[in-house]
Every structure is written in C-alpha cells, then in structure tokens.
Amino acid sequence: EGWLSLSHMTADISMFPFKEWMKCEKIAIKNHKNELSDISHPQGPYLVRKTISRMIALTRGVKCEPEQVIIGPGTQPLIRQVLGMQRENIKAAIENPGYSRIYQLLKDMNFEVFPIDLDKKGIDIKKVEALNPHFLFITPSHQFPTGIIMPISRRIELLNWASASEGRYIVEDDYDSEFKYGTDNIPSLQSLDRNQRVIYAGTFSKTIMPSFRISYLVLPPDLLREYKRHFSYWIQGSNTLNLFTLHYFIESGEYAKHVKRMNNHYEMKRENLIKELKWKFRNGIKIKNVPAGLHFIAEFKTDKGYKEIEERAKKEKLEIYSMKRFNLLGNIEEGKKIILIIGFANIKNEDIPVAVDRLYRVIY
C-alpha cells in the first residue's frame, strides 16, 4: 500500500478551519480594496504588523512597536535581506546540529559561518565567547532539531555576551514555540533583552501551514533605521490579501482557537506514537522526550549506517529523516547507534501502529 510519513516538515492541515479562513478573506477583500490595488508598505501593511506585534507581546512577551516588524514570504528571504545589508567580513555562528537551510544560506552569502556545539542547556556559551561572532543564530524555545529548551540561566549568559561589545546580535528563531505539551512556555529571549541585541524571528508555517509563506522579523531600533535607509526601494514580497486575511483570522480569535486545538491534537498523536514505539522497540530505543514541537529525537541501537537506514526506509515506503540532515559538518558518527527525527504531524492516528511496524523493519 501507499507511503506513510513520520516527516517533521509538515503541518497537519486536516483540521485547518478553511471555512473561517475564507470568511476572513471575504472581509479582507471587502474592507481593503484600495490596499489590494496598490503595493503595500515595504515591511508589510501597518495594520497587520500591529496585529502581529500585539499577538507576540501577549503570547511570547516580545516587546516591540509595529514599526519594528518586517513581514516576508519566509524566514530565509527575511534573513537574507537583513544580513545582506551588513558590511564585509561578518562572522556568523549557528547551533550544530542545527537548521542546515540557514547554514547553507549564510555560506551562500559569503559569510564566515561557524557551527557551534550544544551542551545540555543549548548552544555552548564558552564556544560562543571563544569565537565572538557578529550574528549568532539560535532556537532557544525548542532547539532545532534536538528539542532542548534553553534555561533562563543560559539566556542571561548569552544576553550578557551580546551586550559586552558593539555589533553583536542574536537571532532568536522562535519557529515552533507555540507547541508545548504540559510544560509552560518560557517567554522569548527578546523579552529579557535590555540592550536591543536580539532579532526575533517568527513564522506561521507551523501554526497555519508552510505553503502560506508568512514569516516575520522584529528588528532592534538601530538595525531598523539601517533597514529603512537601505530598503526604501523594496516591494514587500508577501501576498497582501493573505496578510489582511491573517489579520482578521487573528483578530477574530480563530487563530488562537486553532493553535489550542492543534496543541491538543498533536499532544494526543505524540503520546500514541511514543507509546507504540516503546512497546515495539522496548529498550532498543531511547526517546528524547521533550514535551514540545512537532517532532522528537529517537536513538536506536544498530550497527547499520545512515545510508543503509535511508535506503531501507524508502523500501518500506516510510518517509523519515535522520540527524545527518542537521549535522552541519557532515561528520556524524555511526556504527553503534543512529538518531532519527520523528515527526507526528503528517501521520494519521490510526496509521501509527503500521508506521511503527515499518520503522521496526527498517531498523532490524
């Protein structure tokens, strides 16, 4: 029969309220005809930026004015734009294992990019201090892909480091902070920042869907001034109708309701998947059970290498990704165990036992 997916790269849109979304779209068309006939503000419509800034103040403790929000069609184009206005020989650093698509982008932009290892609290502060990059990319809410939730102590250390010298910024990529199960959400790093050193990055890819391409940055005032000077010619890349629809979707309370509903739905699937995996693999599996996000890490004792595992997964028609994808230096060890990223957004609850059986055949 067909493929099953334990991919971490999708949202479960089976429960997305398309009817409500289309109602909001009708309102957007009725109320904003003149905006739709025009190009919008380079950073995106003020009304939508105000709604986003109010929302993240409530949900993430982010302190900002609508003026500091920049909306864009994805995290990558936004990072490319803001980092692209930097002068020469900029040093950047990123978590390893980490988000290889940003690592690739920074290398393509001819930055010196340094992967930095993690310890149990997140990015290793000693290695950051040894390197002193100008831009540090981290995912403190739920480290991507290991899931580590960075404790306040490490957050303070990083903010002190960033404030110790001019020209240092931390990019806080808060990409799936909205999904926490039974543990409370630590406020954003940006909410603790007293020296305007944090660039906050958010996205609707996980909470709505990645195909909508609606993401945003919150810039500290001095970077914002530089941005406005540099990009006065810029035409906003996001679809304005989608942005106004998002505004009504948030303002009507539908967005918050959907995030709550998806938290419950994902928590249920996550629990079922973990139960099934433990039952099937017994002590052959070690699950990093961080109660957050749309995936978790699992270690399997096996002498099979990553290549063989990937081939066996294809044969079993099971879509799944391994830690190799995130090891930025490509030097992942193998021979004793392998580490897989197990996503649960793309699997139907009733297909979990079959998917676990297939995974068992992949490993053994």
Smallest gap from Cβ 209 to ligand QL4, in A, equals 7
Nearer to ligand QL4, 195 or 264 (CB): 264
Nearer to ligand QL4, 281 or 292 (CB): 292
Smallest gap from Cβ 238 to ligand QL4, in A, equals 11
Among 99, 114, 169, 344, binds ligand QL4 (CB under 6 A): 99
Helix (H, G, I), strand (E, B) or coil at 143: coil
210 binds ligand QL4 (CB under 6 A): yes
Q: How far apart are the first and last CA of the chain?
A: 21
Distance, CA of 303 to CA of 188 (rounded, Å): 40
9 binds ligand QL4 (CB under 6 A): yes
Number of chain positions touching ligand QL4 (CB under 6 A): 21
74 binds ligand QL4 (CB under 6 A): yes
Which residue is it, tokens 């990055």? Answer: 201
Smallest gap from Cβ 356 to ligand QL4, in A, equals 21
Among 105, 294, 297, 309, binds ligand QL4 (CB under 6 A): 294
Please provide the DSSP assignment of 279-312 as one string: HHHGGGEEEE--SBSSEEEEEEE-S--HHHHHHH
For residue 301, which of 280, 319, 316, 286 has the smallest C-alpha distance? 286
SS3 content of the chain, % helix, strand, coil (to 5): 45, 20, 35
Smallest gap from Cβ 10 to ligand QL4, in A, equals 5
76 binds ligand QL4 (CB under 6 A): yes
Residues 300-339 touching ligand QL4, rule: CB under 6 A, are 325
Strands 135-138 and 91-96: parallel
User: Degrees (nearest 5) of the Cα angle 306, 315, 349?
Assistant: 95
Task: For 104, list phi and psi in degrees, rounded to 5.
Answer: -60, -45
Binding range to ligand QL4, per CB under 6 A, among 71-79, 107-115, 246-254, 266-274: 71-79
42 binds ligand QL4 (CB under 6 A): no
Residues 170-209 touching ligand QL4, rule: CB under 6 A, are 173, 175, 203, 205-206
11 binds ligand QL4 (CB under 6 A): yes
- 105-110: Cβ within 8 A, 24+ apart: 105/76, 105/79, 105/80, 106/79, 106/137, 109/80, 109/83, 109/84
Distance, CA of 226 to CA of 139 (rounded, Å): 25
Binding site for ligand QL4 (CB under 6 A): 8-11, 74-76, 99, 101, 139, 144, 173, 175, 203, 205-206, 210, 215, 294, 325, 345
